Structure 1
Amino acid sequence: MSTATPVYLDLAYRNESTMLVGRWMRSVMPFELHRGYAAVLDLADERQCRYWLLDIRRRSSVDAADVHWMLEEFYPQLQPRLGGTTYLAFLMAPHQLAGVLANAAIPPLSITDGRPYRIERFTEEHSAVAWLGECQRQDSTPG
């Protein structure tokens, strides 16, 4: 089932890098977040793409309730639909990253250890793209 891309999310698949790019255009309500990530997953499923750059810099902040929804509801859908490990590079503004790191209600990234997805946070797009490229190279290396 294909979900229409909401107007508050710029979503594209980059053929040259086999990477999905989602850019949140503004802060969103929880139901908008859910719809947006449904559209991201639908496009990823259509393209069988497990390398995602998610630019959340235009959102005002990262909410602990949204993080818990992602952990409990959204991320468990990735492996059954995409197979293999999905790599998510979150591009954040420095103040957002500082807020996430200071918020005790948001678990550390180590909570995802052993799960079929990997998450990293970045404040510079080139670093996020480089990490996704390295993940692709590691996945394509035999053995």
Structure 2
Amino acid sequence: MSSPDISCTIHHRPDLGLLVARWPSDASVYQLQTDFEALLRAAMESDTARWLLDVRRRDALQPDFAHWTVHDFFPRAAAMLAPQQLRIAALCSPARLTAYDTSAEQKAIIEEGTAPEQRYQLRLFLDEGATIQWLSA
């Protein structure tokens, strides 16, 4: 799925039971929110609660966006996709993971987002094979 309104590509992979969203570059917070809402619509249409988010080409860290995903979007998406459990695998670049580790604000939001008490499961990966394996488990 692609649309002139979104900055990513969204593909349904029925063979793997997941949605794959890939960003070719950075985008504004507003644009990323638009992209994520499109991803949720695609998930609802395909009844798919396993998402691979390829953010390897997105370098900018946006704490406002991270806060929105953890506190608003992911919980809302999890509720809308229930009874399936929303599983989100973020495929990151090594530089992005290093940036997460060096920013106290980003590190805190990642820890909150990946906490086991969340209504969704979120994990960060460097390897696409490991990402798909986790999503398929």
State TM-score, norm by structure 2.
Answer: 0.88
Seen in structure 2, the aligned counterparts of structure 1 residues 7 and 67 have a Cα distance that, compared at 3 Å, is closer
- Mapped to 1, the partners of 2:49 and 2:30 lie a distance apart of 24
| Matched-pair contact (CA < 8 Å) for 1:21–1:53 | yes
Given the alignment of the two structures, is residue 78 of structure 1 paired with residue 77 of structure 2, yes or no?
A: yes
Kindly state the Cα deviation for residue 14 of structure 1 after the two structures are TM-superposed.
0.3
Task: From the CA coordinates, give the structure whose radius of gyration is larger.
Answer: 1
Given the alignment of the two structures, is residue 58 of structure 1 paired with residue 57 of structure 2, yes or no?
A: yes
Q: Which amino acid aligns with 2:37?
A: A
Given the alignment of the two structures, is residue 46 of structure 1 paired with residue 45 of structure 2, yes or no?
A: yes
Deviations 1:75-129 (A, max 9, x none): 1211221003210000000000110122110225442321210111011111101
- Mapped to 1, the partners of 2:109 and 2:28 lie a distance apart of 23
Pick aligned residue for 1:124 from 123, 127, 136: 127
- Mapped to 2, the partners of 1:110 and 1:9 lie a distance apart of 25
| Matched-pair contact (CA < 8 Å) for 2:51–2:89 | yes
Percent identity over the alignment? 24
User: How many residue pairs are counted as aligned between the two chains?
Assistant: 132
Q: Which amino acid aligns with 1:39?
A: A
* Number of the residue aligned with 1:87: 87
Please state whether the residue corresponding to 1:20 is helix, strand or coil. strand
Q: Which amino acid aligns with 2:94?
A: P
Seen in structure 2, the aligned counterparts of structure 1 residues 75 and 7 have a Cα distance that, compared at 3 Å, is closer
Q: Which amino acid aligns with 2:90?
A: F
| Matched-pair contact (CA < 8 Å) for 1:4–1:39 | no
Given the alignment of the two structures, is residue 103 of structure 1 paired with residue 106 of structure 2, yes or no?
A: no
- Mapped to 2, the partners of 1:37 and 1:7 lie a distance apart of 9
Seen in structure 2, the aligned counterparts of structure 1 residues 104 and 116 have a Cα distance that, compared at 3 Å, is same
Unaligned 5+ segments in structure 2 are none
